[in-house]
Amino acid sequence: MPELPEVETVRRGLAQAMEGRRIEEIEVRRRDLRFPVPADFADRLRGQTLLSLSRRAKYLVGTFDDDTVLLAHLGMSGRMVIETAEDLNMPGRFEHGTAAHDAHEHIVFRVGNGTIIRFSDPRRFGMMLLTDKSAYPSHRLIRHLGPEPTGEDFTGPVLAARLKGKKTPIKSALLNQRVVAGIGNIYACEALFAAGISPRRSAATVQGGRAVRLADAVRAVLARAIDAGGSSLRDHVAPTGELGYFQHSFSVYGREGEPCPGCDCGKSVQRITQSGRSTFLCAKRQR
């Protein structure tokens, strides 16, 4: 499943390919994604120019010149493939233009300079919806989202205010989209390890200096992963044209039984289950 850093990497790649360009052609092959693709999707976007592509939590947010807003999510298995005009001239490779590469390719865009962008999603938990600039802030998928965890605005006091009175474990609170938007299981584990905070600790007790440490750790682990994605994205597109999936090395995530990497506790990384999801931790370091 793409986590926030992958989504940000996809955003950067797509922005390079699409910002300032006119949508010349759109094909919608399947509408039954997580939410149905609107019937007028292609008609509303054809001929519009994408002014900007931003990100809110794990949503991609495209703003067009007539104030239409595209709200896209990669779901569990969504991928974006970019084919530049140069790729398309390579004999034998993309000679069939926008024709589908496979059965999971649901939406295809062709933009002004001939670049083709393919959205494929085998599990169809992804989505592409339309709204407009004035309705966007109160959109039902957007309005409840907590602060963005990547920006300078995500500080200890901001996090502490969100955690006040919350009796759930801090690990669960970090996964709550109303507390902070877009942190998945992997980065919740990594940030708690980096901050030395036990995932079992009551969220309400993460205040003051502890909240500052955790907010700093969240921003740092996400920034590191986004940097890794950016550097894996040489010339903005992987050789296959596929954006956004890359291998990270994590400190504790997926490392049950391996020596603790962060302290000289001499113990190994433990795995526990919280709310049905795995948490990886060092029980000595994280209090």
Task: Let me know if 58 is a catalytic residue.
Answer: yes
* Contact in structure between 94 and 108 (CB atoms under 8 Å): no
Residue 260 touching Zn ion (CB under 5 A): yes
Q: How many helices (H) and strands (E) does the chain have?
A: 7, 10
Q: How far apart are CA 113 and CA 98, in angstroms?
A: 14
Site string for Zn ion, 213-252 (x = CB under 5 A): ----------------------------------------
Whether the Cβ atoms of residue 279 and residue 215 lie closer than 8 Å to each other: no
In whole angstroms, the minimum distance from the beta carbon of 21 to Zn ion comes to 49
Instruction: Using the minimum distance from each CB to Zn ion, give the nearer residue, 161 or 263.
Output: 263
Catalytic one among 3, 19, 25, 242?
A: 3
| Residue whose token pair is 């399947």 | 30
- Contact between 263 and Zn ion by CB under 5 A: the answer reads yes
From 130-138, 215-223, 234-242, 253-261, span contacting Zn ion (CB under 5 A): 253-261
Closest residue by beta carbon to Zn ion: 260
Strands 270-274, 277-281: pairing kind:
antiparallel
Residue among 54, 265, 268, 287 that touches Zn ion (CB under 5 A): 265
Where does this chain touch Zn ion (CB under 5 A) — which range of 31-39, 48-56, 101-109, 265-273? Answer: 265-273
The only residue of 33, 74, 117, 282 in contact with Zn ion, by rule CB under 5 A: 282
Question: Are the C-beta atoms of residues 110 and 94 closer than 8 Å to each other?
Answer: no
> Do the strands 270-274 and 116-120 form a parallel or antiparallel pair, or are they unpaired?
unpaired
Check binding of 103 to Zn ion (CB under 5 A).
no
Count other C-beta atoms under 10 Å from residue 209's C-beta: 10
277 is catalytic: yes
Considering the rule CB under 5 A, would residue 285 count as an interface residue with Zn ion?
Answer: yes
The answer to whether 79 is a known catalytic residue is: no
Residue 125 CB-density burial (10 A; 0-12 exposed, 13-18 middle, 19+ buried): middle
Active-site residue (options: 30, 271, 277, 284): 277
In the complex with Zn ion, the residue whose CB is nearer, 81 or 260, is 260
Active site residue 242: no
Look at the block and give the residue holding tokens 């000289």: 264
Q: How far is the CB of 249 from Zn ion (least distance, A)?
A: 17
Q: At its nearest, how many Å lie between Zn ion and the CB of residue 228? A: 23
Residues with Cβ within 8 Å of residue 23, at least 6 apart in sequence: 45, 46, 47, 48, 49, 50, 64, 109, 110, 111
The active-site residue out of 58, 171, 219, 255 is 58
Q: Does 255 bind Zn ion (CB under 5 A)?
A: no
For residue 205, give both structure tokens: 């007790």
CA distance 6 to 55: 11
Stretch that binds Zn ion, among 52-60, 96-104, 251-259, 274-282 (CB under 5 A): 274-282
Q: Helix 156-163 to helix 208-231 angle, to the nearest 10 degrees?
A: 120
The catalytic residue positions are 2-3, 58, 277
Interface with Zn ion by CB under 5 A: which residues?
260, 263, 265, 282, 284-285
